[in-house]
Amino acid sequence: MTKHIFIIGSKGIPARYGGFETFVEQLTARRMNKEIRYHVACLSDQSGEFEHNGARCFQVQVPKVGSARAVLYDLQSLKICIRYIEQHQLTDCVIYILACRIGPFFYPYKRRLERMGVTVLINPDGHEWKRGKWNTWIKRYWRLSERLMVKHADLLVCDSRGIETYIQSDYAKYRPRTTFIAYGADLTPSTTSSRDLDLLLWMETHGIKPGEYYLVIGRFVPENNYELIINEFMASDTTKDLVIITGVEQNSYFEELLQKCHFDLDARIKFVGTVYQEQLLKKIRELAYGYCHGHEVGGTNPSLLEALASTKLNLLYDVVFNREVGGNGAVYFSAEPGSLAARIHELDQYDDIRMKILETKAKARISMEYTWERIVKMYEHLFQSFELFQKKPQRARSFTGYFREKLKQSQ
């Protein structure tokens, strides 16, 4: 019998960028269980349907109304899913909601889905209510929304053990059912060669040389600690560049940081815009001397996994989420003045042997815990077992061990 999995909350596939988008792309592209049929919501300026990776992709039109657009998008996607299930009289259905955006509006839909026999899984993402870009009222909305989504979910799929522990602890009164399934990464080398014209042109344009730069990739927001990284890099004695791949167009935070740090006076600091070609971006990671990761909010960050899979040396901001992923395959820095500058000086002195040891440990972390094959298998075991979560538990319960045992049995 076909199991219908409806995924809402990502911008859709085919994926160009974004953690959730990459996840949905990989989940559908690497599908092993032919009894699973994916239905993926895609944010669009038009309506319609198309097939991608064997998944049914349905386009959802939503007006551009600022930060509220994401909430409207999720609600409209949910309505379309319910209507489709009813019209086609589907059974064995799961709706998987990525992020906790619609908590205040969710309960009536959840009651309706319960009557339809549809299971609701929710990925709580990271601590969205902690993000610096939100004002006080939006942060309060996010916290309320998270609480209500946790309360009404049949199962919460956490992408880090730290987030799972947080959910079980802070929302214990709701007896939440949880499991941990991370994002994945690909260990195969880039198909872009070192002599590729696009790569050579990109490096020449920005004055960058292979092995002579530290790399930062991520959204240009305060909680990714760009101010700390830039200030510490400017204070360091390294002769290498700091190459920052991010979008800063019409970004007030960029202007604010420029006034604070005056990084325009340091030729080593290079903002190079965005890179959307997957294989080119992977090659840029491979040719970097090291990767610097300042994210402090969220769970298993996709850009960190990709760096561990591709970059020789990795410098991570010392928070529980990054420690959980990087393990002994990375070097860590804190917010204490001089910490990152000292780590950069230390890494600049590494010889080939020390670099290879750290690179091997990082890739081992990915191979053991974070390959896409492993992640997709865990999700498919989850979708095959969703009937376990249709009734509220008598107490809080984690299913992480259950699915890990299932995965072992299948190998």
Does the pLDDT at position 97 exceed 70? Answer: yes
pLDDT of residue 311: 97
pLDDT of residue 237: 96
Does the pLDDT at position 339 exceed 90? Answer: yes
- Say if CB 316 and CB 228 are below 8 A apart: no
Alpha helices, DSSP H only, in 90-154?
Answer: 103-116, 136-152
In which band, very low, low, confident or very high, does the pLDDT at 8 lie, cut at 50, 70 and 90? very high
pLDDT of residue 131: 64
Q: How many CB atoms lie within 10 A of CB 105?
A: 14
pLDDT of residue 379: 95
Does the pLDDT at position 317 exceed 60? Answer: yes
Can you tell me the distance from the alpha carbon of 370 to that of 341, in angstroms, rounded to the nearest whole number? 30
In which band, very low, low, confident or very high, does the pLDDT at 1 lie, cut at 50, 70 and 90? confident
Does the pLDDT at position 36 exceed 90? Answer: yes
Can you tell me the distance from the alpha carbon of 53 to that of 176, in angstroms, rounded to the nearest whole number? 33
- Say if CB 382 and CB 157 are below 8 A apart: yes
> What's the average model confidence in pLDDT over 268-284?
94
Does the pLDDT at position 118 exceed 90? Answer: yes
Residues present in the chain in total: 411
pTM: 0.86
pLDDT of residue 390: 57
Does the pLDDT at position 324 exceed 80? Answer: yes
Q: How far is CA 29 from CA 186, 303, 398, in A?
A: 13, 20, 28
Q: Which CATH number fits domain 3-184+371-410: 3.90.700.10, 3.40.50.10300, 3.40.50.2000, 3.40.50.300?
A: 3.40.50.2000
Topology of domain 197-369, per CATH? Rossmann fold (3.40.50)
Instruction: Give pLDDT tens digits for 203-261.
Output: 999 999 999 999 999 889 888 999 999 999 999 999 999 999 998 876 788 999 999 99
Can you tell me the distance from the alpha carbon of 194 to that of 309, in angstroms, rounded to the nearest whole number? 18
In which band, very low, low, confident or very high, does the pLDDT at 404 lie, cut at 50, 70 and 90? low
Q: Over the range 142-151, which residues count as b (16 or more CB within 10 Å of their CB) and which as e?
A: bbebbbbbbb
Q: Regarding beta strands 48-52 and 55-61, do their DSSP bridges make them parallel or antiparallel, or are they unpaired?
A: antiparallel
> What's the average model confidence in pLDDT over 169-185?
91
Domain boundaries, the chain: 3-184+371-410, 197-369
Question: What does pLDDT average to over the chain?
Answer: 90
Q: How far is CA 33 from CA 89, 377, 404, in A?
A: 22, 9, 18
Does the pLDDT at position 52 exceed 60? Answer: yes
- ∠211-216-217 over CA atoms, to 5°? 120
> What's the average model confidence in pLDDT over 122-131?
73
Between 69 and 18, the more confident residue is 69
pLDDT of residue 326: 94
pLDDT of residue 132: 59
Same-fold call for 3-184+371-410 versus 197-369: yes
Can you tell me the distance from the alpha carbon of 143 to that of 130, in angstroms, rounded to the nearest whole number? 9
In which band, very low, low, confident or very high, does the pLDDT at 135 lie, cut at 50, 70 and 90? low
> What's the average model confidence in pLDDT over 70-95?
95
Instruction: Give pLDDT tens digits for 375-388.
Output: 999 999 999 886 66
In which band, very low, low, confident or very high, does the pLDDT at 139 lie, cut at 50, 70 and 90? confident
